[in-house]
Amino acid sequence: MSVTTIKKNITSDISGAIQQTVNSFPLLKEKRNEAWHTFQQLSMPATKNEEYKYTPVTRLLEKNFSFPTANPSGHLSTLQDFSIPELDANIIVFVNGVFSQEHSSIFSNNSEISILTMEDAIVQQTEVCLKHLSAYIDLKADALANWNTAAWTNGVFIHIPAGTTIEKPVVIHHIHDTRNGQVVSIGRNLVVLEKNSAVTIVEKFDSIGDANHFSNCITEAVVAEYAELNLYTIQNDSGKRFQYGLTQIHQADSSRVNTYTFSLNGKLIRNNLQLTLNGEGIESHMYGLYLLTGDTLADNHTVVDHKKPNSFSNELYKGIMDEDSKGVFNGKIFVRPQAQKTNAFQANRNILLTDKATVYTKPQLEIWADDVKCSHGCTSGQLDEEALFYLRSRGIGKETAQAMMLYAFAAELLDNVKHPVIKRYLDNVISERLHKNF
Amino acid sequence: MSNDNQVLEEFTSREYEHGWTTDIEADSAPKGLNEGIIRFISAKKNEPQWMLDWRLDAYAKWTKMKEPTWPNVHYPPINYQDVIYYSAPKKSDKTKKLEDVDPELIKTFEKLGISLTEQKRLTGIAVDAVIDSVSVATTFKETLGELGIIFCSFSEAVHNHPELVKKYMGSVVPVSDNYFAALNSAVFTDGSFCYIPKGVRCPMELSTYFRINAANTGQFERTLIIADEGSYVSYLEGCTAPMRDENQLHAAVVEIYAMKDAEVKYSTVQNWYPGDKNGKGGIYNFVTKRGLCFGDHSKISWTQVETGSAITWKYPSCILKGDYSMGEFYSVAVTNNYQQADTGTKMIHIGKHTKSRIVSKGISAGHSQNSYRGQVHIMKRAENARNFSQCDSLLMGDKCGAHTFPYIDVENKSARIEHEATTSKIGEDQIFYCLQRGIDEESAVALIVNGYAKEVLNQLPMEFAVEAQKLLALTLEGSVG
């Protein structure tokens, strides 16, 4: 008996999709074509690839998507379902990768902040944008980053001049309307903070409809001396979202960066968060929480690269895996030979609620400087029986007791959220998820 | 700082103490590897057909495999056809008594500080001395024999206990496990075999001393330890090798099989020639060590002190299959000059209530790179598994590197896993404290390093602990980061 199967070659399919948009910006023609070629050379990562060992992104895309694809046009009647309540913010909305003027609203003064769509920024030949775009991301190893670089269609360019503090956060909504079929969006954002400026940015991913959808979104941020960036990523979409994200942050002397990644729902979530600490006196905090149920797979790969002396980085990622979900964490800390007196800390804590849930964690320290303080710790376990018993002996029901403990576990991350309105919103979402009713 | 550099320089210029060769006529195979060579080795050792078949099967598998590239080490490609796979010291006839052993060989051991006669009398350790791949003398065999313990060279075991060898060889480390294990399975020349019968507690520490001697000789030994129900054995392995300019290949396999309630403690001090201060020469040490806790309540404990070898690739592992079984790994790895070490462990939890503990201490100096790579894998049915891992790195100087790659894979909710790692240097305040108490800088470093590694050194049997401490002090004294 012979069975002939025509194996889909996803790399060439995606490559075909890239071809359609690779030449859409004459100014970037060279860069995009180069990325396209690199993508073909690297090909989509197999699970043999150490970076994708536990995350079969290629297989999942192969199984659930067909490339090339034309996105159906999206329509959004109201943003209300997706917006963060009571948050006074600048709002930018993309529906199926297309900028939606209708739902976007910029309140901050033009002199304070310049917010353009990436398309406009390139067409208008915005100098700062062209200077920093793709300047810091590493395109040598990751096929998906090259895919994005070669094929992105739109995104946001944010430029904050020196000495400006933007009070109102900037919220970027990435919404997929899949009522008319599968959606694939390739987005690219760039945030440039000049000296002594500050801003809070929220990226939020949502959808309508129930077809499969995929987003490949890269955000680059350049943080100059004494500037401060707070970056929130909220991933609480339906179980049909497949998502690859890369956030590359380049920090100069004495800058501050806080990132908050909340992965609450989706089918496949892959976050690459990379911080390059290219200066002295830098302080960086990375916080992450993944609450997974169903068959969600959330994979957080973070890199902190200490290139200069006297900087500080701290990372805290926590996860609760329920049902069949799978959590993956890889935290790399590099301390280069010049980066003496570096302090770098990392912790990853996990709770498994069922025997079908799994967690794969790999903290990784690579240190070439001797006068440093670095540590990492990671744990995995279930809720403490004795603590549960204590609560129950006080007349608290089993489920409530469990919810209390899970909430307390997650709350450590909420405590670090600075913005009060965003904090309240996240608190509500998380409480609801953990059935907190006390 | 200048003072630091000075002591660093002094210490990096230290020559290898055990650098000498013994002039024993060797009986060698021609360079290269093919089926003919394997048949030659097998014939030389008078092996039965099944053994030859096993080797040929391993060779066939090896030719289809690729050398692993994932370790964090760099070396020029090895030409496997440029290695002599068999070299045996010539012997006039079968040696029965210690007195009949080649006097040159006895001197060799005396230089190493393990004179057989002396050891036999004073320390009560049975030494199965392996020099260039063939066991020359086995002591205390009779004493052990009375208890039913079999402790002999691997080739003897193939002849005298084929049923045990057939049953257990390759059961823990399968032929096709990895590139170097397959190579070893095809060409291994000798090694040690040990069987502890039911309920027997081995009254002495069993020990082998491996050395690489003749130039261009790869050494491929194989150790198999079988601990039957309720037995206990502590096994020591030590290595020193003379100075050689060309890189020498060393690919050993150690298998431990522990049945119900059995306990095996395996200790290693490894001090192969690490190459000179410019990174020239040195041993390539690619070792596969694995223990299987097959029965319930069994325990395997690995302790290693790694100070030598140009390149170390070694992951002594435990497969915890029996319920309530326990695995331990204690390691001190020291790298200096251009040494590279990628070492760690794997703890595979399969049985219920299994426990493992990992304590790894890395020390890097000079231009060396020291990596810890470990995996803790809790399988689905491993209820209530428990793991504690700690891997600390100490850096001396700003040209070396320390890396940790711990993999933690948990598939059972009741598992409790803790992992922690730190990286630091010897504090100036610690040195200062010692100085003001009248302890000079070199002694202070030795003191601090020994304190740092104490947790692991404490696990070593007495005789080894002394040697290990000396080795640490020798390799590292005077190097302040």
For residue A358, which residues of chain B lie inside 8 Å, CB to CB?
Answer: 409-411
Question: Containing domain of residue B90, as a range?
Answer: 2-476
Instruction: Give every residue of chain B whose pLDDT is below 50, as ranges.
Output: 1-5, 7-8, 11-13, 20, 91-96, 115, 118-124, 132-133, 135-137, 211-216, 478, 481
Contact assignment for B410 to A375 by CB distance below 8 Å: no
Domain boundaries of chain A, sorted by first residue: 10-278, 384-438
**In terms of C-beta density within 10 A (0-12 exposed, 13-18 middle, 19 or more buried), how is residue A418 classed?**
exposed
Distance from CA of B290 to the nearest CA of A (A): 22
Q: How far is the C-alpha of A141 from the C-alpha of A147, rounded, in Å?
A: 12
pLDDT attached to residue B272: 77
Tell me which residue has tokens 């049909």. Answer: A240
**pLDDT, tens digit, 9 for 90 and up, residues A158-209:** 999 999 999 999 999 999 999 989 999 999 999 999 999 999 999 999 999 9
pLDDT attached to residue A183: 93
Distance from CA of B446 to the nearest CA of A (A): 18
Q: How far is the C-alpha of A175 from the C-alpha of A74, rounded, in Å?
A: 9
Query: In the predicted model, what is the mean pLDDT of chain A?
Result: 91
Contact assignment for B398 to A368 by CB distance below 8 Å: yes
**pLDDT, tens digit, 9 for 90 and up, residues A278-332:** 999 999 999 999 999 999 999 999 999 999 999 999 999 999 999 999 999 999 9
In sequence order, what are the residues at sequence separation of 6 or more whose Cβ sits closer than 8 angstroms to the Cβ of residue A411?
Answer: none
Q: How far is the C-alpha of B49 from the C-alpha of A125, rounded, in Å?
A: 78
pLDDT attached to residue B91: 45
Q: DSSP string spanning A220-249?
A: EEEE-TT-EEEEEEEEE--TTEEEEEEEEE
pLDDT attached to residue B113: 54
Residue B355 lies in a domain: yes
Chain A residue with CA closest to B388: the answer is: A379
Contact assignment for B481 to A370 by CB distance below 8 Å: yes
Task: Give percent above pLDDT 90 in chain A.
Answer: 76
pLDDT attached to residue B25: 55
Q: Which two tokens stand for residue B45?
A: 């050792």
Residue B331 lies in a domain: yes
What are the E-state strand segments in B112-164?
A: 126-131, 134-138, 150-153
Contact assignment for B403 to A376 by CB distance below 8 Å: no
| Helix locations, B215-330, DSSP H | none
Chain B residue with CA closest to A328: the answer is: B409
Tell me which residue has tokens 């902190």. Answer: A304
Residue B481 lies in a domain: no
Q: Classify B264 as helix, strand or coil.
A: strand
| A376 interface with B at CB cutoff 8 Å | yes
Nearest C-alpha neighbor of A208 from the set A77, A70, A63: A77
Is the pLDDT confidence value at A108 over 90?
Answer: no
Tell me which residue has tokens 């694995």. Answer: B290
pLDDT attached to residue A305: 96
Letter for the amino acid at A365?
L
Number of independent structural domains in chain B: 1
Is the pLDDT confidence value at A21 over 50?
Answer: yes
CB pairs under 8 A between A and B: 116
Distance from CA of A7 to the nearest CA of B (A): 26
Task: Give percent above pLDDT 90 in chain B.
Answer: 30
Chain B residue with CA closest to A385: the answer is: B414
Find out whether B109 and B189 touch, Cβ atoms under 8 Å: no
Q: How far is the C-alpha of A385 from the C-alpha of A247, rounded, in Å?
A: 38
pLDDT attached to residue A322: 93
Nearest C-alpha neighbor of B234 from the set B273, B205, B262: B205
Q: How far is the C-alpha of A248 from the C-alpha of A97, rounded, in Å?
A: 20
Contact assignment for B423 to A379 by CB distance below 8 Å: no
Residue B129 lies in a domain: yes
pLDDT attached to residue B32: 79
Q: How far is the C-alpha of B203 from the C-alpha of B146, rounded, in Å?
A: 11
What are the E-state strand segments in A283-429?
A: 283-292, 297-306, 312-321, 326-335, 343-352, 358-367, 373-381
Query: In the predicted model, what is the mean pLDDT of chain B?
Result: 79
For residue A363, which residues of chain B lie inside 8 Å, CB to CB?
Answer: 404, 406, 419, 421
Nearest C-alpha neighbor of A177 from the set A310, A72, A290, A99: A72
In a mutational test of the B interface, the residue from A324, A352, A370, A386 whose CB has the highest number of chain B CBs within 10 Å is A370
**pLDDT, tens digit, 9 for 90 and up, residues B148-202:** 988 888 888 888 899 999 999 988 998 888 899 998 898 888 788 899 999 999 8
Distance from CA of A55 to the nearest CA of B (A): 13
Mean pLDDT score, A146-156: 94
Chain B residue with CA closest to A330: the answer is: B407
pLDDT attached to residue B365: 85
Find out whether B238 and B209 touch, Cβ atoms under 8 Å: yes
| B295 interface with A at CB cutoff 8 Å | no
Residue B45 lies in a domain: yes
The distance of Cα B28 from the centroid of its chain, to the nearest Å, equals 25
pLDDT attached to residue B102: 56
For the ranges A53-67, A100-114, B235-249, B257-271, the lowest mean pLDDT is seen at: B235-249
Q: How far is the C-alpha of A317 from the C-alpha of B273, rounded, in Å?
A: 43
